[in-house]
């Protein structure tokens, strides 16, 4: 029969009610699961925090101990005993290697060998260190060069003949002058090609010793550019600035450009090539 409206139960009502209970139970289960995951996550985070705190405190204690010994040298005995003898030696080895690296920065470094000494000559242009070259010397019965990595266009034999037997320091110093000047010239040419290729026309020509440079470059004048040609000769091969410079425009150019050519010529004589080109870009702007 028909069920009264006052009664809460109808079949639809029951089903709805059951659905609702099911949903509630499902939701409660999900929330329980979520809560459980949260708690696990929280617990693992807490564990991690504690781990890190312990690690930090240990490190802090180490650093404090370090600072104490460095400032007051207190309790030297106990501290040295704390670090194993091996650790102290390893520290000393690192410290000496650091000092040997300093010698590399000074330009002359070396290592004793069974039959003599192997020197290393470093080159640099201002603050940038470039290639280094080694010289393996034998010392008995007389000083002579066993092996080396000096390029063939550096007059090593000439320099050795003059200084090696009488004054090794002078020999290395003169050789270093040659090598550093060569490295400096090469660096300037490389920098020019790398940073000012848009102003160069064609390729930059150079010899192995980099004491002869020939290149063409563009000089802007108004809204046109004129091709210039430059020829740099470095007769002093211990110098990284040229002794002779010839700059001229390759086509018939307006007269004021002849002044520009002369000005450039002067500039190249006294200023590093890549720096000279830098000033061109600055003045055009």
Partner 1 sequence: MDISMCQVYEDEIKSLEEEIKLLAEQYEDIQQESTFYSEEEILMAIKAFQSELQGESNGCESQSDLKAQLESLEADLSFLMKFTCVQFTSHSKRTIERHRNRTVQKHRISGKCHSLSFQLEFQLLEMQDKEKVSTVISDLSVVMESGEDSNVSKFLSRNEEHGDLLTFFRRLSSYAEWYEHRRRTFLHFK
CB of 141 to partner 1, least distance (A): 20
How would you classify the pairing of strands 108-112 and 144-148?
unpaired
Helix (H, G, I), strand (E, B), or coil: what is residue 282?
helix
Q: CA 285: distance to chain centroid?
A: 31
Distance CA 66, CA 270 (A): 52
CB of 5 to partner 1, least distance (A): 45
CB of 3 to partner 1, least distance (A): 46
- 217: tokens are 């470059």
Distance CA 174, CA 156 (A): 10
CB closer to partner 1 out of 176 and 265? 176
Chain residues in the site for partner 1 (CB under 8 A) = 35, 38-39, 41-42, 45-46, 48-49, 52-53, 55-56, 59-60, 62-63, 66-67, 70, 73, 76, 80, 85-86, 88-100, 102-103, 105-112, 117, 122-124, 126-129, 169, 173, 176, 180
Query: HSE (CB half, 13 Å, CA atoms) of 205?
Result: 8
CB closer to partner 1 out of 132 and 216? 132
* Polymer length of the chain: 285
CB closer to partner 1 out of 128 and 250? 128
CB closer to partner 1 out of 38 and 203? 38
Q: Give kind and range of the element (H or E) at residue 59.
A: helix 11-72
CB of 205 to partner 1, least distance (A): 26
CB of 106 to partner 1, least distance (A): 4
Helix (H, G, I), strand (E, B), or coil: what is residue 75?
coil
- 131: tokens are 């290639």
CB closer to partner 1 out of 144 and 224? 144
């Amino acid at each position: 029969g028909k069920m009264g409206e006052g009664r809460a139960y109808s079949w639809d009502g029951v089903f709805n009610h059951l659905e609702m209970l099911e949903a509630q139970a499902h939701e409660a289960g999900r929330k329980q699961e979520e809560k459980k995951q949260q708690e696990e996550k929280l617990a693992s985070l807490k564990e991690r925090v504690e781990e890190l705190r312990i690690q930090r405190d240990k490190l802090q204690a180490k650093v404090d101990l370090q600072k104490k010994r460095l400032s007051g040298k207190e309790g030297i005995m106990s501290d040295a005993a704390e670090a194993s003898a091996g650790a102290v030696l390893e520290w000393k080895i690192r410290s000496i290697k650091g000092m040997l690296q300093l010698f590399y920065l000074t330009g002359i470094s070396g290592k004793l060998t069974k039959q003599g000494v192997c020197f290393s000559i470093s080159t640099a242009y201002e603050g940038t260190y470039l290639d280094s070259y080694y010289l393996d010397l034998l010392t008995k019965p007389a000083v002579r060069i066993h092996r080396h990595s000096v390029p063939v266009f550096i007059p090593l034999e000439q320099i050795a003949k003059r200084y090696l037997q009488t004054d090794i320091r002078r020999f290395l110093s003169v050789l270093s002058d040659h090598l550093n000047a060569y490295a400096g010239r090469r660096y300037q040419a490389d920098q020019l090609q790398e940073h000012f290729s848009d102003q160069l026309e064609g390729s930059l020509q150079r010899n192995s010793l980099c004491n002869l440079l020939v290149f063409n470059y563009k000089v802007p004048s108004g809204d046109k550019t004129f091709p210039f040609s430059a020829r740099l000769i470095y007769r002093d091969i211990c110098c990284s600035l040229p002794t002779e410079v010839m700059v001229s425009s390759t086509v018939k150019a307006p007269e004021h450009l002849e002044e520009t050519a002369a000005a450039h010529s002067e500039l190249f004589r006294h200023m590093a090539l890549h720096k000279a080109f830098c000033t061109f870009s600055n003045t055009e702007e």
